[in-house]
Amino acid sequence: MSSPSARPAGVRITGTGMAVPPRIVSNDDLAKIVDTSDEWIRPRTGIVTRHISDESTRTSDLAAEAVRQALGNAGLNPTDLDLLVCATMTPDMICPATACRIVDKIGAVPCGAMDLNLACTGMVAGLTIAANFINGGAFKNVAVIGADRLSTIVNWEDRKTCVLFGDAAGAMIVSASDNPNQQCLFQKLNSDGGMGEALYVPRCEDDIPEGGKETFNGKFDTLQMNGREVYKFAVNALKECVSEALEQTGLTHEDIKMVIPHQSNIRMLQTAWKKLGFPDDKIYINIDRFGNTSAATIGLCMHELTEQGRFEVGDHVIFVAQGGGLTWGASLWRL
Ligand SMILES: CC(C)(COP(=O)(O)OP(=O)(O)OC[C@H]1O[C@@H](n2cnc3c(N)ncnc32)[C@H](O)[C@@H]1OP(=O)(O)O)[C@@H](O)C(=O)NCCC(=O)NCCS
């Protein structure tokens, strides 16, 4: 653990990691448990397979594996961490925070720890927190993890939701940099609780909104979703976030190496990119292999791209996400 210091020259992503449970579930496998088919799922969502964890695997297990890998890639020890942020909507327990359990599992005690519950927007929010704590001089190394097991909160009899999600964890280490060019140049977080009923997990009758009685899937503590509402919202949210990031930084499409969006539906991403005028090769897509992994998605994408050697120092990357809350946001980094 480092001691508080003066403000650093810059901030950078020093390591990435990811973890998925070994069990791969195909669309055909799902067709054996609900009335669905590969012909329905694939063209409408882009999803072909997803990883689903067994009951003994906890969110903190996937997260610990991802962050250990990210620390290794950053050349850091667990005890070098000042803060560990875990974005999740499927915590191991309500208390203690899943982040505390991860800190313990990886041997980073007494590192600071916090959970963020912002559904699929969690990783973007975590990166924002990390950048600001580091830029302020409070911390030198922050682990940001997005980890979710949505398989534990879907109704496996509800074909409208259970086919969409997968389990995973993605991690990034954010560290102080001596290079002033390395920076988080733009950050924006938004929420609108008034739209929360488009995607929510009710615990009891009172949690179901007036307009939601008809679409309630019959099971409390499982995800309820108005797919069409979320789809419309997500296309606009993505488009507006990316446009704002470009406007505020004065950068253009040509300046951006890659946009790393939350992956919830390939058609929705394609519609948003068409509206934005971005070429296809600047948008990373891996929903076909993982489905929607909620807070984990952006970390998975960043890790895969980093492993493929796709980035150089000085590249601009935009992270953009939207999800339950409803929440949406983006951050633009010069790597
Ligand atoms: C979920 C989504 C693919 C559904 O597509 P859609 O065209 O809106 O489909 P609808 O929900 O209107 O359902 C259309 C029909 O398909 C059926 N259907 C829904 N899911 C199905 C499935 N898995 N298999 C087969 N049929 C299905 C519905 O029952 C409905 O049938 P009906 O007309 O006989 O009632 C789409 O709305 C979506 O991706 N929304 C965004 C979801 C999202 O991003 N969530 C997470 C946000 S982070």
Residues 175 and 205 placed together within one structural domain of the fold:
no
252 lies in a domain? yes
pTM for the full predicted model: 0.96
Q: Are 100 and 23 in the same domain?
A: yes
What pLDDT was estimated at residue 292? 98
Q: Are residues 125 and 222 in the same domain?
A: no
Residue 5 within any structural domain of the chain: no
Tell me, yes or no, whether 155 lies in a domain: yes
The pLDDT score that the predictor gives to residue 214 is: 78
Identify the residue whose C-alpha is closest to ligand 1 atom 8.
Answer: 228
pLDDT per residue, tens digit, the chain (335 aa), is 555 568 999 999 999 999 999 999 999 999 999 999 999 999 999 999 999 999 999 999 999 999 999 999 999 999 999 999 999 999 999 999 999 999 999 999 999 999 999 999 999 999 999 999 999 999 999 999 999 999 999 999 999 999 999 999 999 999 999 999 999 999 999 999 999 999 999 999 999 998 778 789 999 999 999 999 999 999 999 999 999 999 999 999 999 999 999 999 999 999 999 999 988 899 999 999 999 999 999 999 999 999 999 999 999 999 999 999 999 999 999 99
Does the residue 302 lie in any domain? yes
C-alpha of residue 197 to centroid of ligand 1, in Å: 17
From 179, 207, 226, the end of a domain falls on: 179
Span from the CA of 322 to the centroid of ligand 1 (angstroms):
18
Specify whether 56 is located in the same domain as 191. Answer: no
Q: Is any ligand 1 atom within 6 A of the Cβ of residue 159?
A: yes
Task: Write out the two tokens for 168.
Answer: 């995973």
Peptide bond connecting 326 to the previous residue in cis, omega within 30 degrees of 0: yes
DSSP secondary structure, 224-260, as one string: EE-HHHHHHHHHHHHHHHHHHHHHHHT--GGGEEEEE
Give yes or no for residue 12 CB within 6 A of ligand 1: no
- Chosen domain end from 150, 179, 208: 179
Task: Please check whether residue 212 lies inside any domain of the structure.
Answer: yes
Distance 226 CA to ligand 1 centre (A): 9
Are the C-beta atoms of residues 251 and 332 closer than 8 Å to each other? yes
Q: How far is the CA of 258 from the centre of ligand 1 (A)?
A: 29
- The DSSP element (H or E) to which 22 belongs, if any, is none
- Contact predicate 319/297, CB 8 Å: no
Q: Is residue 170 part of a domain?
A: yes
Residue 70 lies in a domain: yes
Residue 206, domain CATH = 3.40.47.10
Range of the domain at 128: 10-179
| CB of 45 closer than 6 angstroms to any ligand 1 atom | yes
Q: Which amino acid is at 284?
A: Y
Q: Is the dihedral of CA 137, 262, 152, 107 positive or negative?
A: negative
Q: Tell me what pLDDT residue 211 has.
A: 77
Cβ–Cβ under 8 Å, residues 144 and 87: yes
Beta bridge partners of 190: 328
Total domain count for the chain?
A: 2
Residues 191 and 68 in one domain: no
Please check whether residues 140 and 31 belong to one and the same domain. yes
Cβ pair 175, 141 in contact under 8 A: yes
Determine, yes or no, domain membership for 1. no
- 168 and 193 in a single domain? The answer is no
DSSP string, 260-286: EE--S-HHHHHHHHHHHT--GGGB---
The active-site residue, picked from 100, 111, 292, 303, is 292
| CB 323 near ligand 1, within 6 Å | yes
Q: Residue 151: which of 32, 48, 45, 30 has the closest Cα? A: 30
Q: What is the token pair recorded at 55?
A: 């009951």
